[in-house]
Amino acid sequence: MKAFEAVQLYFDHAADELQLPENMRTLLVTPKREVQVQIAIERDSGDVATFIGYRVQHDDSRGPMKGGLRYHPDVDLDEVRALASLMTWKTALVNLPYGGAKGGIAVSPRDLSIKELEKITRAFVDQIHDVIGPDRDIPAPDMGTDHVVMAWIRNQYEKYHGFSPAVVTGKPVELYGAEGREEATGRGVGILANKLLKRLGRKPPETRVAIQGFGNVGSHAAKFMAESELKVVAISDISGAYYKANGLNIPHALRYILANKHSLAGYSEAERISNLELLELDVDLLVPAALGGVITAENAASIKAPIIIEAANQPTQPAADAILDERGTIIVPDILANAGGVTVSYFEWVQNLQYYKWNLNRVRQELDYTLSNAFENVWQVAQERKCTLRTAAYTIAIERVFRATLLNGIS
Ligand code: NAD
């Protein structure tokens, strides 16, 4: 199933729950604007290379649109469209005054020099600067892009529009970036884990956790969970998975990847298992924090964890979701689970617009407040409607966007 179809399916479940009429569904699902541009640059070799860039602006009924910019060879319109709508539901769910967008360029950043990447980025901004902006659409880093790319975007945008640090988030901290943005998504996963455990009456030290992916999200989630006394028994990255039944020493693993080019390869403080085995471990909480689509109809029945927190985007395929739901597995859906990133992006935008800088403590406190509210809201709606946390989350988000659309008026 394609990414767009999966989001559509979850949208439909929630729209059924809300008894939304067909014309309103079409209105809410259809992107406001889709931009596809050609980007031509001269490579270091002197050859000309052409790339395709996309920006899909899904909905702006609740505020300027917000969403990442992805550099990956598999980027296509279908994927960008799905991720743009996911951003609309995510920002609405967390109640940020934003709509949703997403962008990408079909390119493999590893195959290009830094100079070439900068040229591509600036050429992309030349093509889309009129449709983005602090009050229109605010890009952020995603797969294959980082704070450096965001600094280029801001710099290129300002050549047309003057000083506008709020045009992108995820900037370097020295250049109007927010303290705590890097840890935000992983920290948010940890905050939500603690909230859920409390609701379920489970004690953190008795909660064994397996985390797939030890990059930005997975490593910060592991750090925060270990600090909150959860027992992280397995971690993994592309090099494999590492398991220790009585709990891993997370600070040690974090020091190891820092000294080892951000890789767990060769980590000898734990038993080496496969990434597939990690998903099927007998643990209390499973956190997929690497790729999409890793929990499938094939492996769903073997997953023993009674709780899953979807740190990655779309880690559970819809067919697997149905199997797990049948078994009573509690799933914190991606649109809530990884919303910490966009929440601190929002804080960065607010600081930029006010020319005022918050300290890390304030960022952390506001993140905790925003995500805790969103979690309690989802939990309550799920109890009231007797539905999954995913359907509850989509229901809240769709209802907010629907109401805003009606209040804005349809001419
Ligand atoms: P990252 O590139 O920093 O880390 C990805 C991790 O996954 C790495 O440890 C990598 O080795 C591992 N990995 C890659 N292929 C793997 C495989 N086949 N099996 C096991 N592990 C594998 O990325 P990230 O920023 O941590 O993002 C992780 C996920 O979270 C993505 O799905 C991303 O879209 C989502 N997400 C990230 C953010 C954010 O703020 N970074 C926000 C929302 C959603």
In short, whether 351's Cβ falls inside 6 Å of ligand 1 is: no
Residue 281, domain CATH: 3.40.50.720
The sign of the dihedral angle between the CA atoms of 30, 31, 32, 37 is negative
Residue-level pLDDT at 4: 78
Check whether residue 160 and residue 230 sit in a common domain: no
**Is 92:400 a contact under the CB 8 Å cutoff?**
yes
- In the chain, what percentage of residues exceed pLDDT 70? 100
Q: Could you tell me the pLDDT band of residue 1, with boundaries at 50, 70 and 90?
A: confident
Residue-level pLDDT at 3: 74
| Mean pLDDT of all residues belonging to the chain | 96
**Of 102, 132, 165, which residue constitutes the final position of a domain?**
165
Q: How many angstroms does the Cα of residue 356 sit away from the middle of ligand 1? A: 31
**Within a domain: 232:** yes
Residue-level pLDDT at 299: 97
**Within a domain: 375:** no
H/E stretch holding 57 reads strand 48-59
Per-residue pLDDT tens for 104-119?
Answer: 999 999 999 999 999 9
Q: Could you tell me the pLDDT band of residue 171, with boundaries at 50, 70 and 90?
A: very high
Strand locations in 195-337 (E): 208-212, 231-237, 240-243, 271-273, 285-288, 307-309, 330-332
Residue-level pLDDT at 2: 74
The sign of the dihedral angle between the CA atoms of 92, 98, 101, 103 is negative
Number of domains in the chain: 2
Buried/exposed code over 302-324 (b: 16+ C-beta within 10 A; e: otherwise): ebebbbbbbbbbbbbbbebbebb
Check whether residue 320 and residue 211 sit in a common domain: yes
Check whether residue 36 and residue 110 sit in a common domain: yes
Angle at CA 235, nearest 5°, toward 231 and 236?
Answer: 175
**Within a domain: 358:** no
In short, whether 207's Cβ falls inside 6 Å of ligand 1 is: no
Helix (H, G, I), strand (E, B) or coil at 146: coil
**Within a domain: 399:** no
Burial (Cβ within 10 Å: 0-12, 13-18, ≥19) of residue 258: exposed
In short, whether 311's Cβ falls inside 6 Å of ligand 1 is: yes
Q: How many angstroms does the Cα of residue 381 sit away from the middle of ligand 1? A: 30
Per-residue pLDDT tens for 2-33?
Answer: 777 888 999 999 999 999 999 999 999 999 99
Residue-level pLDDT at 56: 98
Check whether residue 62 and residue 136 sit in a common domain: yes
User: Atom 33 of ligand 1 has which residue's CA nearest to it?
Assistant: 312
Cα 301 to Cα 269, 295, 315, 373, distances in angstroms: 30, 10, 15, 32
Per-residue pLDDT tens for 350-364?
Answer: 999 999 999 999 999
In short, whether 275's Cβ falls inside 6 Å of ligand 1 is: yes
The CA-based dihedral angle spanning residues 217, 345, 370, 227, taken in that order and rounded to the nearest 10 degrees: 30
Q: How many angstroms does the Cα of residue 180 sit away from the middle of ligand 1? A: 18
Residue-level pLDDT at 288: 98
More confident residue, 241 or 3: 241
**Within a domain: 176:** no
Atom of ligand 1 nearest to the CA of 314: 32
Check whether residue 212 and residue 142 sit in a common domain: no
Residue 55, domain CATH: 3.40.50.10860
* Ligand 1 probe mutation, 70, 150, 185, most atoms within 8 A of CB: 185
**Of 134, 165, 196, which residue constitutes the final position of a domain?**
165
Atom of ligand 1 nearest to the CA of 185: 40
Atom of ligand 1 nearest to the CA of 338: 43
In short, whether 137's Cβ falls inside 6 Å of ligand 1 is: no
The residue behind tokens 């509850």 is 392
In short, whether 217's Cβ falls inside 6 Å of ligand 1 is: yes
Q: Could you tell me the pLDDT band of residue 221, with boundaries at 50, 70 and 90?
A: very high
Chain-centroid distance of CA 244 in Å reads: 28
Encoded tokens for 101: 């967008």
In short, whether 164's Cβ falls inside 6 Å of ligand 1 is: no
Distance (Å, rounded) from C-alpha 236 to C-alpha 366?
30
In short, whether 169's Cβ falls inside 6 Å of ligand 1 is: no
User: Atom 17 of ligand 1 has which residue's CA nearest to it?
Assistant: 238
Atom of ligand 1 nearest to the CA of 313: 32
**Within a domain: 346:** no
Residue-level pLDDT at 109: 93
Strands 48-59 and 33-42: antiparallel
Distance (Å, rounded) from C-alpha 135 to C-alpha 3?
28
- Please count the other Cβ atoms lying within 10 Å of the Cβ belonging to residue 78: 12
- Rounded to 10°, the helix 77-93/340-354 angle is 70
Check whether residue 200 and residue 318 sit in a common domain: yes
Per-residue pLDDT tens for 291-329?
Answer: 889 999 999 999 999 999 999 999 999 999 999 999 999
**Is 34:54 a contact under the CB 8 Å cutoff?**
yes
Q: How many angstroms does the Cα of residue 410 sit away from the middle of ligand 1? A: 40
**Within a domain: 349:** no
**Within a domain: 218:** yes
Q: How many angstroms does the Cα of residue 263 sit away from the middle of ligand 1? A: 13
Check whether residue 96 and residue 65 sit in a common domain: yes
Whether pTM exceeds 0.75: yes
Distance (Å, rounded) from C-alpha 12 to C-alpha 28?
11
Burial (Cβ within 10 Å: 0-12, 13-18, ≥19) of residue 361: exposed
| Mean pLDDT, residues 252-265 taken together | 96
- Going by C-alpha positions, the residue among 44, 10, 111 that lies closest to residue 398 is 10
Encoded tokens for 353: 């617009």
122, pLDDT greater than 90: yes
Residue-level pLDDT at 32: 97
Q: Which domain holds residue 275?
A: 184-332
Q: Could you tell me the pLDDT band of residue 240, with boundaries at 50, 70 and 90?
A: very high
Q: How many angstroms does the Cα of residue 292 sit away from the middle of ligand 1? A: 9
Cα 65 to Cα 86, 88, 159, 240, 337, distances in angstroms: 12, 8, 22, 37, 20
- In the chain, what percentage of residues exceed pLDDT 90? 95
For the annotated catalytic residues, the residue numbers are 102
Check whether residue 199 and residue 143 sit in a common domain: no
* Ligand 1 probe mutation, 237, 256, 296, most atoms within 8 A of CB: 237
